[in-house]
Amino acid sequence: KLFTRPEDVPSRTYDFIIVGAGTAGSVLASRLSEDPHKSVLVIEAGVSDSSVSTIQIPFLASSLRQTSVDWNYTTVPQSGLNGRSLTVPRGFVTGGSSSINSMAWTRGSSDLWNSYAKITNDVGWSWDSIQSYWKKISTLVPPTSNDAITPDQIPLSNSNGPVLVNLPNYDIPPRQQVFDAANTAQDPRFRFTRDVNSGDSLGFGYNQASAGHGFRSSSATAYLNPALATRSNLDLLINTRVTRLVNDPVIQTKPVFKQVELAQSPHGDHLLFKATDEVILSAGTFGSAQILLLSGIGPKDELEKVIVDSPDVGKNLKDHPVVQIYFTVNSTDTLDSIFRNSTLTAQLLAEWQQNKTGILSDTPINVFGLLQLPDTFFTSVDSNPASGPKSPNLEMIFNAFSATPTAPAPSAGNFLSVVIALVSPTSAGSIKLVPNSTDTFTAPLIDFQVLATDFDMSAMVQAINDTEKFLSAPSWTRDGYLIGPFGEFANATTADARLQYIRNNADTIHHPVGTLKMGRNSPAQRLGGEGVVDPRLNVRGIQGVRVVDASILPAIPECHTQAVVYIVAERAADMIKQAFGMLGH
Ligand SMILES: Cc1cc2nc3c(=O)[nH]c(=O)nc-3n(C[C@H](O)[C@H](O)[C@H](O)COP(=O)(O)OP(=O)(O)OC[C@H]3O[C@@H](n4cnc5c(N)ncnc54)[C@H](O)[C@@H]3O)c2cc1C
């Protein structure tokens, strides 16, 4: 059942309490409540996903930022960005960030997952082992209409899970230009791929999106809402923040943190709920780390009151830096006109409302590419930080207009936008508590350290150079389509000017991970520190708490992160069921 006030929740004690009904939390809510003998309470800070109808419309994803369904965080000033601060969106709604994200559906390469197995010394995280979980998550559904897609372009990796995934419903530019350039390029890095989720992530191809039949498919629509509608052992409390975890007064070998303190406002009642089996933190890369810090679990030199010294809490924060560039094109068949023409938007909205068709049924991204830096790049840098030869360093996303608030779409003219991302960054930042803050109503200090390393800066410049190279293929000038670079970027022709362009305009692509990273089980074998959680996602140094969300990833995936989080959540559900002898394991 859904509750909006803590005092209405029928019990203060549940077998499991899940903190955050986000991407991972909703998967767990559904999977753990499959066992009718266990009671599950999910506590969500934000609103219900049914409260904002635009969440459903794929094309309008970016309009959800800085609204009532966004936490709307801000970073501390970033020295790599000439002192600019960035806005940081996160879903403040059931489904979490899967309800407000751009829906790109990528799970990383086999090398990525094998690197997680190596870092944790747990073969259960390897590519081969995660296949059974991947198969539980998504189903590929046909686009509402798109005759251009040929059978040999249809990806094969999706299976029969509840998240719907589709290819673009419409064949719009620059799909043909990208495919032709990829099919004819001399540079083997510019090649076509049928499926970035096949294990080899490299190549240019269709964007798979977590959407189907014209609607966004989120972890709320796919997992949480159907379970809530049918199961009496699952309760959801929304509009309520967990403010900290509280340890039992009786100290055993390790402190037991099975009590959850929650509140609806900073000065409102702070109530305690208790889990008999386990508390699962799924509050995301910022939320889960903030809750542990507020509970006295973190680096001892940073906390006023330390119960467990855990030096990595809040550290190792990584995100993908991006920069957006525009090119003028000789075509009126571009997406920018939709964003700026309100009459056209209203017509398209009416079509979507009536039939769930039209361009609003698609995300703006129809094609994208993942590629490595050229071999020559690594002569001056130690080694490639990507997880292996099937993992990219760079990404080019075509027509992702307004993916970032910096470099917004020009107000007149027709453009191709290219969002260029560094997906294997080496810069790492942190989150910390604001001094003297005592609860989650005060946002933490978020410091990505964007572009803080020489590698990241020079890789971004290389990414721009590679984009220009890709756009020099004959397919782009056919029928005079591509005219040339636009705006401030058009004048950035030297490496130094490009560096400045990047510092002035870069953002991150909203894939933060790593603040509660997973590490090896045995301290004797440890590699790069023990991490905050063990390979089964238990918080080290305490009892009764697991973390299941993007914060546990020990290295940033070289891909969009949501599908990775779904996989982590499916495996976590299995591990928890096993630990408590539950049905469905
Ligand atoms: C704007 C945007 C665009 C993105 N685009 C893509 C994309 O195209 N493809 C892709 O793969 N990934 C994308 N991502 C990233 C992806 O969505 C996230 O990596 C993933 O959803 C994170 O899942 P999570 O479970 O870790 O956290 P979330 O899904 O964010 O869930 C955390 C939940 O916990 C709740 N919470 C937090 N603190 C508390 C508290 N104190 N008490 C109670 N509840 C709390 C939150 O409200 C939220 O519901 C995007 C993200 C954003 C924000």
Cβ neighbours of residue 560 closer than 8 Å, sequence gap 6 or more: 102, 104, 105, 106, 509, 511
Q: Which amino acid is at 82?
A: N
Q: Check if the beta carbon of residue 560 is closer than 8 Å to that of residue 105.
A: yes
Per-residue confidence band for 525, with pLDDT thresholds at 50, 70 and 90: very low
The gap from C-alpha 155 to its chain's centroid, in whole angstroms, comes to 21
Per-residue confidence band for 403, with pLDDT thresholds at 50, 70 and 90: low
> How confident is the model over 175-202, as pLDDT tens digits?
999 999 999 999 999 999 999 999 999 9
Q: Which of 18, 101, 245 to mutate to test the pocket of ligand 1 (most atoms within 8 A of CB)?
A: 101
Question: 23 C-alpha vs ligand 1 centroid, how far in Å?
Answer: 6
Question: 83 C-alpha vs ligand 1 centroid, how far in Å?
Answer: 26
Beta-bridge mates of residue 211? 216
| In the chain, where the domains are located | 2-579
Q: What CATH topology corresponds to 2-579?
A: Glucose Oxidase; domain 3 (3.30.560)
Q: Check if the beta carbon of residue 270 is closer than 8 Å to that of residue 43.
A: no
Q: Check if the beta carbon of residue 94 is closer than 8 Å to that of residue 44.
A: yes
Tell me if 93 is assigned to a ligand binding site. Answer: yes
Mean pLDDT of 442-448: 98
Taking phi first (over 0 means left), then psi (-120 to 50 degrees means alpha), and beta for anything else, what does residue 242 get? beta
Per-residue confidence band for 527, with pLDDT thresholds at 50, 70 and 90: very low
% the chain with pLDDT above 90 = 88
Check whether the bond before 174 is cis (ω within 30° of 0): yes
0.90 surpassed by complex ipTM: yes
Q: Give, using CA atoms, the residue closest to atom 53 of ligand 1.
A: 90
Taking phi first (over 0 means left), then psi (-120 to 50 degrees means alpha), and beta for anything else, what does residue 22 get? beta
DSSP SS3 for 446: strand
Confidence (pLDDT) at 526: 43
> How confident is the model over 254-307, as pLDDT tens digits?
999 999 999 999 999 999 999 999 999 999 999 999 999 999 999 999 999 899
Mean pLDDT of 33-60: 97
> Rounded CA gap, 444 and 455, in Å?
28
User: Is the pLDDT assigned to residue 381 strictly greater than 80?
Assistant: no
Confidence (pLDDT) at 335: 87
User: Is the pLDDT assigned to residue 379 strictly greater than 70?
Assistant: yes
> Rounded CA gap, 427 and 454, in Å?
9
Q: Which amino acid is at 93?
A: V
Question: 284 C-alpha vs ligand 1 centroid, how far in Å?
Answer: 6
pTM above 0.95, yes or no: yes
Is residue 560 part of the annotated active site? The answer reads: yes
Cβ neighbours of residue 531 closer than 8 Å, sequence gap 6 or more: 312, 516, 517, 518, 519, 520, 540, 554
Mean pLDDT of 533-546: 95
Q: Check if the beta carbon of residue 467 is closer than 8 Å to that of residue 373.
A: no
Q: Check if the beta carbon of residue 578 is closer than 8 Å to that of residue 536.
A: no
Is residue 585 part of the annotated active site? The answer reads: no
Beta-bridge mates of residue 204? 192, 369
DSSP element (H, E) containing 29? helix 23-32
Confidence (pLDDT) at 528: 41
> How confident is the model over 107-155, as pLDDT tens digits?
999 999 999 999 999 999 999 999 999 999 999 999 988 989 999 999 9
